[in-house]
């Protein structure tokens, strides 16, 4: 176990600004959620034996994207802000269309 201490010590010396704080953990959670959407889509497609995008894909996209956007704003990183900002509108819009379609009743027959 001494080798672990040595590796961590060397890492700390090479990267003195590296700190594990709330924002780093928050960013990793956002990235994990954003990545999970692909696993969700893959599992759903395997079950149906065709390419499908389940509603949960859009939820994970939106939540992960919003977390990553807030992380990018906190880091003041314009590249990542511009990378995640437009996508969140698309994810929200897709969820809007899904629920709008569910809540519109078909015309009465007769």
Nearest one of 82, 77, 44, 76 to 60, comparing CA atoms:
44
Domain ranges of the chain: 37-102
Better-predicted residue by pLDDT, 21 or 28? 28
Band the pLDDT of 75: cuts 50, 70, 90.
very high
Per the document, the length of the chain is 110
Band the pLDDT of 109: cuts 50, 70, 90.
low
- Please give the pLDDT value at position 108: 61
Give CA separation, 94 vs 79, 88, 91, 97, 98, in Å.
Answer: 24, 10, 5, 5, 6
Give SS3 for 68.
helix
Residues 38/26, Cβ–Cβ less than 8 Å:
no
Tell me phi and psi for residue 79, to 5 degrees: -65, -50
User: Across the chain, what does the average pLDDT equal?
Assistant: 90
Band the pLDDT of 5: cuts 50, 70, 90.
confident
Nearest one of 94, 12, 24 to 57, comparing CA atoms:
94
Tell me phi and psi for residue 20, to 5 degrees: -90, 115
The pTM score is: 0.77
Report percent pLDDT > 90 for the chain. 71
């Amino acid at each position: 176990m001494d080798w672990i201490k040595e590796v961590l010590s060397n890492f700390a010396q090479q990267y003195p600004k590296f700190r594990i704080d709330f924002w780093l953990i928050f960013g990793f959670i956002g990235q994990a959620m954003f990545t999970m959407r692909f696993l969700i889509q893959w599992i759903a497609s395997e079950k149906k034996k065709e390419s499908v995008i389940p509603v949960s894909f859009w939820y994970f996209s939106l939540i992960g994207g919003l977390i990553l956007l807030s992380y990018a704003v906190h880091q003041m990183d314009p590249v990542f802000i511009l990378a995640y900002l437009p996508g969140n509108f698309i994810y929200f819009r897709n969820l809007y269309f899904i629920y709008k379609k569910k809540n519109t009743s078909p015309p009465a027959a007769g």
